[in-house]
Structure 1
Amino acid sequence: MNMTIPGARVMDVRTSLPRHKSLKYGRRKLTDIRSAALHHSATLSGSPGAFARYHVSTNGGPGIAYHFVIQKDGVIYWCNDPESISYHVGNSNRHALGICLVGDFRTQQPTPEQLDAANRLIEHLQVQIPSMKQVFGHQEYPGYAWKNCPAFPMVKFRSDYSQYLQKAVDKVKTPIQVQVAISMNGSMLSVSGFLQEGVSMLPVRAVANAAGGKVEWIEQTMDVRVNGKDLNEKVISGSAYAPARELAAVLGLQVEWDDPNKIVRLNGV
């Protein structure tokens, strides 16, 4: 699983945490996962290593109970494969993925860094694991109504998470401020691209068609291919855009950037 999360720091500690000498967690398919279960550690501080030692030595478990631990500074620790059926919500373990925020939220509050990391992590996981549609607190699972965990209001968390997702959508929909003109072999195309963090993004189909390239849309993975090669495209309002140099490379074109006039010049067809 890809755990590169934009704007977040992820530490993979799966192979370094204490484990039981003989016991192992069962395995499941990713499609078995239906929800993310949020926990607090109920400690003022702590680390994945400390939690793992407690879960193994005191509770007699195969390993740490959580799949992810989020420290107060927002660093995300990857503790178990999502396919591991770890022990954190009883009879719901098979269908839940455990995320623990370090802190005792009966007396503390999650830090802004933790909440931001939790939002980014859940968003990323829901893309990687489409069946994980729901987010619950520990106490919302059957048999745990008595347990004050994660000890912060889940209704508000879910509302804030929905707003976080909407902001991400709105950011993509924000009108492009810097337009980029496109020239091919000296002739201006009728379409334009835009600048994104200093990178020229060009409309894939229009440029590929002008260069005689073959464009494919892969419905299953929502990917665009040009001449059989994948691109790091961005889909906006139903149109795919790709970095100018990447698109030029698969089309066998040379690319030049005319900064004063904001024109991408493609040559070589």
Structure 2
Amino acid sequence: MAELTDVYNALVSLIGGALWPQGLSGVSAIGAPCKIYPRSPASTELDADLRAGIVHVSIFAPPNREKVTTRYPRVWQDQFPGAPTITVAVSGSTVTLGGTVTPTHYVSIVVAAQGFSYACTASDTLSSVAQALAQQMPAGLGASVSGAAITIGGRGDIVARCAAPGTMMMEVRRQNRGLTIAIHAPSPQLRDAAAALIDPLLATTDFLSLPDATAAWITYQGTDEADEGQKAMDYRRDIHIWAEYPTIIIAPAYPITIVQNQLALADGSASGTTLIENG
């Protein structure tokens, strides 16, 4: 789940891309060496670097600048879909398995309005998965196995699907955190050059993508400037923003491949129909 460090790192990546548009191996966009990091600067390191002509950009969260903004209902949502490594192909009355067997990935077959599904284990092979599926089928379907292929009694109404667990998430809290992007430069010109890149970038970034598939909502709060003068060689500008982001919990999500509908008939009996669901 996203937490403050993820927001820091996303800002470092965003601002770093503006300072080094051609990558870290190239020259910075302001023509001077730069350091960017998610913390307050260490004074001894900062002093030495400023005297060496190095610009610092630090990102940190000042104390007492946080609001709880929870306002959404707690509902599960898709996060990352699963990507099955096993494949299925239907040709006439034959289902052929391919790809790679991965534990917890599963294969489903629907034929004659009946559904059969099998979840792979660590010891499975394509042939053993095919065998396990065929063994579930009643004798009347006439299923036979050859390697990784299942042939089902000359039928042409076969549907097959494969699936893999993904993840789903639920937002349990939301917070708006005040952050400061502090530019420390050895000259006003370098400070202004760095700010000219960073300030418009933040102004045009409404949402900052986070690793857990959520996003931080970025809003502007204000700017401060503090020049320590030539003695300290620290020409500083602080850009203050708010970053609102969620705290989430994560759980496995299993795609549905078969749905069994049970219909009550007028004579009191029941009729079942199996439907394939995903894909």
Question: Is this a same-fold pair by TM over 0.5?
Answer: no
Give the TM-score range, shorter chain: under 0.3
Structure with more helix by fraction:
1
Structure with max Cα Rg:
2
Considering Cα pairs closer than 8 Å and 6+ residues apart, tell me whether 1 or 2 has the greater RCO: 2
TM-score normalized with structure 2 length: 0.18
Which TM-score applies when normalising by structure 1?
A: 0.19
